[in-house]
Structure 1
Amino acid sequence: MSLYIGREASKLWKRICAETTTEFNLLADNWKYILAGLICQYIHGLAARGVHYLHRPGPVLQDTGFFLLPELGQERAYVSETVFTFVFLSFVLWTFHPFIFKTKKIYTVLIWCRVLAFLVACQFLRIITFYSTQLPGPNYHCREGSRLATLPRPDNPLEVLVFIPRGVLYGCGDLIFSSHMIFSLVFVRTYQKYGTRRFIKQCAWVIVVVQSLLIIASRKHYTVDVTVAWYTVNLVVFFIDRKLTEMPERSLGAVLPLAKDVRMKDDHVKLVNDPAADRRLLRSPANGKVSEDSNNVHGGDVLDSL
């Protein structure tokens, strides 16, 4: 039994090391996109904090969702945040599953390049929207009489540039459209395309619908904030996904971005024009042995797939 466990642990460690090498090579080629996406996340947080200084509390606007859905109350505000945290962490863990499991369809670096591109585009539209018109926040800490409804004038630039997570949770003024829905919809749509479990896909969409209702019931956003997020995020992801270069299929044994796979196609054209080189590429191994590594693919198979 201990021998079996040791053998499996050794295979797992080799799998992690091999995947780490592959992802590191991809990161070396795409680190600029990852860094730019992370910087934009900071800019989005900075913009959300900036609009808090402009927020002026007032009477909560009439809202159909508030009329139809029962109010959860301030003491149950954690419910929607718990659902969002579950969606967020589940997606993050899924993007790193190639390091552990044999069945792999995605590359972690490449999937996060796409996700960050979706998030940045949606957040850019969101910043334009909530700076265009500041609505009185419906959340409890944004209402009249709350000391958190409006931030005091900053004494120095660091107070604006440096913000803590608690300040983000208690923001006001950044309403249309919901940031929580941006993340959730981007994550679910990404898994819908690259995930392999149909049941999980169906559950994910149900969870996002439930989260939408919980956000309104918690009075964290107006119904319009959630509604606009649903069609805006889906449209943005749809159009940007069509413009981005598609990720290589792992089933073909590819370990590099598609931009480098294009060079493989060019080499294939050269081989077609050079029969002697083609025969050298497809020649059987001298010892007659075939590699047992399931991730390896013969050159002829890769070229045929292209």
Structure 2
Amino acid sequence: MSFYIGREASKLWKRICTESGIEINLLSEKWKYILGGLIFQYIHGFAARGVHYIHRPGPTLQDVGFFLLPELGQDKGYISETVFTTLFLSFVLWTFHPFFFKIKKIYTVLIWCRVLAFLAACQFLRIITFYSTQLPGPNYHCREGSKLATLPPPNSVLEVLLINFPRGMLYGCGDLIFSSHMIFSLIFVRTYHKYGTQRFIKLCAWLAVIAQSFLIVASRKHYTVDVVVAWYTVNLVVFFVDKQLPELPDRTSAALILPLSKDSKAKEENHKLLNANSGDPAEWI
């Protein structure tokens, strides 16, 4: 029994090392896109922090979702965050599954290049939108009488540049249209729907993002319009941006040769190692 476990652990370690080499080669080619996407995440956070300085609390606007959905209350705001965190972490873990599983369809670096491109495009539109019109935030900490509804003038440029993560993300005001949580959730679910393999997980993911839509409104974290605009904007952006990007290579194709080396023989060997196609069934998992 211990021999079998040791043998399986050895094969797993070999797969992790092989996959790491392939992903490092891809990263050496695509690092500019990854870095650019990560930098834009900071720009988006910086912009959301900036709009908080000009946010002015006021009466909560009339909203059909507030009439139709019962208010969960401030003490139950964690429910929508739990659903979002589950979607977020599940997707991140899935993007790294090629390091551990024999059957795989994606490359981690390439899928994140794609996801970051979707995020940057949607967040760019979001920044323009919430700076165009500032609505009084419906969240409890953004209402009149709350000390967190407005930020005092900054004492220095550094205070503005430091986003105060994660407090600035959790207690921001003014960045309403459209929901950032919905941007991430919809992009992640759409990406898994296209490149994932488990139909049941796809169904659960779509049900989760639908439930999150209602929970966000019921928690009074956003107006209904913030969620509705996110649904059609994100889907349209992903649809059009996806058409402009080169399609990801399908790793399930036996004829695929990885574009990682000028030596075609080395490419073929990388592909065989990556998919455990050594020709010896005893080496498969």
Match for 1:59: what amino acid? P
- Please tell me whether residue 120 in structure 1 is matched to residue 123 in structure 2: no
Q: In structure 2, what is the equivalent of residue 19 of structure 1?
A: 19
Q: Which residue of 1 aligns with 2:198?
A: 197
Matched, 1:68 2:68: yes
Equivalent residues of 1:248, 1:256 under 8 A apart: no
How far off is 1:253 after superposition? 3.6
Question: 1:226 is matched by which residue type in structure 2?
Answer: V
> What stretches of structure 1 move > 3 A for 4+ residues in a row?
291-298
Counterpart for residue 224 of structure 1: 225
Q: State how far apart, in whole Å, the 1-side matches of 2:240 and 2:273 are.
A: 41
Identity of aligned residues (%): 75
* In 1: Cα distance, 2:173 partner to 2:150 partner: 8
- Cα distance in 1 for residues equivalent to 2:174 and 2:259: 43
Structure 1 residues 70, 101: CA separation in 2 closer, same or farther (over 3 Å shift)? same
- Determine if the alignment matches structure 1 residue 46 to structure 2 residue 46: yes
1:233 and 2:225 correspond: no
Q: Corresponding residue for 2:81?
A: 81
The one-letter code of the counterpart of 1:42 is Y
Q: Which amino acid aligns with 1:254?
A: I
Paired residues of 1:253 and 1:297 also in contact (CA < 8 A): no
Task: Report the AA paired with residue 122 of structure 1.
Answer: C
Q: 1:256 pairs with 245, 254, 259, which one?
A: 259
Gaps of 5+ in 1: 268-280, 282-290, 299-306
Q: What code does the residue aligned with 1:110 have?
A: L
Tell whether the 8 Å contact from 1:253 to 1:296 is kept in structure 2 after alignment.
no
- Matched residue type, 1:179: S
Contact 1:52 1:174 in 2 (8 A): yes
Deviation string, structure 1 residues 45-85 (Cα, Å, up to 9, x no partner): 00000000010000000000000000000000111001100
Task: Quote the residue 2:212 is aligned against.
Answer: 211
Shift of 1:255: 2.5
How many pairs were matched up? 270
Distance 2:277 2:86 in 1: 36
Counterpart-to-counterpart distance in 1, 2:174 and 2:69: 22
Q: Distance in 1 between matches of 2:104 and 2:259?
A: 14
TM-score (ref. length: structure 2): 0.91
CA distance in structure 1 between the aligned counterparts of 2:170 and 2:95, rounded to whole angstroms = 25
| Preserved contact between residue 69 and residue 217 of structure 1 (Cα < 8 Å) | yes
Equivalent in the alignment of 1:151: 151
- Alpha-carbon separation, structure 2, partners of 1:100 and 1:247: 20
Q: Using the TM superposition, give the Cα deviation of residue 43 of structure 1 relative to its aligned residue in structure 2, in angstroms.
A: 0.2
Query: Would the aligned equivalents of 2:18 and 2:273 in 1 still touch at CA under 8 Å?
Result: no
Mapping 1:107-186, distance limit 5 Å:
107-163=107-163, 164-186=165-187
For 1:178 and 1:11, locate their aligned partners in 2 and report how far apart those are by CA, in whole Å.
44
